[in-house]
Structure 1
Amino acid sequence: MSEVAVLQLIGLVVVGIGLLILLFIKAMFVRVVGFVIIMLGIFSLIALGVPQMPSLPPAIETFDLASVKTPDDLAAIGQKIFFSKGQCALCHSIGPSESARCPDLKGIGAKLTPEFIYESLTQPQAYIYLDYRHQGPPKEYPARMPYINKNPIALSDQEIYSVIAFLQKMSGEPISIKVEDVMQLANTQQTMTVAAAHRSSDFERVNPTESTDAPESGEAK
């Protein structure tokens, strides 16, 4: 029996207890309690009857370099990252929105250079964009921009530039991010990862965790 079925059975039992109280007990206070129990049981049954949707984190989009042939391919990947792994749409809107917790990104690719957007993503406190949508002095938006290249989001440079390409395309601008430059970034990062692995391996060889030449206990030195 599923968990929902068990809870529904409990709800029916609660309703039954409430009905028994109303039918066989004359004390007014107890009858009121029985009525409340019936209402709680009915509301519980209604709530449990609503189809339950699992709350899952956004799917992580993989950056498939083999599929990137044109700037439009890069922008397509950037769009997926924008709405999934990058979590940009959680705070930013694309178009005017009174409920936006961060600046509206409509046309941002035409207003700002790729270098400025990159800085805003990787060093979000370098420049603070204020909210002018209300009367009085401008103020900061309620949500604080995270460092997009660090945990928990941790986008790579290739992913960041693909998002910038998406913002440019969305703004009707020619995509200035070059595919070959993004490929070069990927190759550079891969080389650095391999080099770091080799350095770690060399360190282990030079500094073994346990010395094999250590004298045994009681052996003369």
Structure 2
Amino acid sequence: MPEVSIITPCYNSSKFLEETIASVMNQTFTDWEWLITDDQSTDHSVEIIQRINDPRVRLTIAEKNGGAGHARNLALEKAAGRFITFLDADDFWEPNFLNEMIGFMKKENAEIAYSNYARCNEELIPQIEDFKADKEVTFENLLKTCRLSLLSSMYDSQRVGIEYFPEGSKREDHVMWLNLLKKIPVGKPLQKTMAKYRMHSTSVSRKKQNIVKDQYLVYKDFMGFSTLKSLYYTANWAMNGFIKYSKIFN
């Protein structure tokens, strides 16, 4: 059984996929499985993945395009590793990401951990200050801003179980982390920059003004909060999101 399961959704990612593959293959920690789900790509993504000559890499092709959450869930259904971590098909890990994260989690007896990550343009050149893993994460403070980024976080499935993503929401990662944090008191910060995140100008996560309603539904529908309480946390999330990405504050 592998120590780590890496979960990757892929959709039309051929432009950056080879760099992502290299970042996994160059990991100093080698006891992993990589579960990639292609979400009906129309480019050459599948061909690129199929060229990987490594039995630790397992490709699933979704029967229909169902979005990133659905693709991750298909991979999670097959995950056998104790530790679960995520890497989108256009992001990048430093070579010691897995080694550092697993060592940190065992040392700190952590059920969830997250690290710093660099915020880069499409050429992986940093654009603003690194996102800092500078606070312990709880359910309460995660309601106001999602500090847990998929590419720089890890959880122990032996202790907290496998947590699936809610399908049909553009904020599925936030809901997933909130559901995990309901089970444990705290997630631990590793204050080292272990990953690089590509900030695409057209990405859903950057267009905050277009997904305020989706964020509101995180609280109203998935957390079961009242309208007033949902509006309160949505306002906090919007302000923290502005601070997170604005060069004024970095």
Specify which structure has the higher proportion of strand: 2
TM-score normalised per structure 2: 0.20
**Structure with more contact order per residue of length (Cα contacts < 8 Å, sep ≥ 6):** 2
Specify which structure has the higher proportion of helix: 1
Q: Find the structure with the greater CA-based Rg.
A: 1
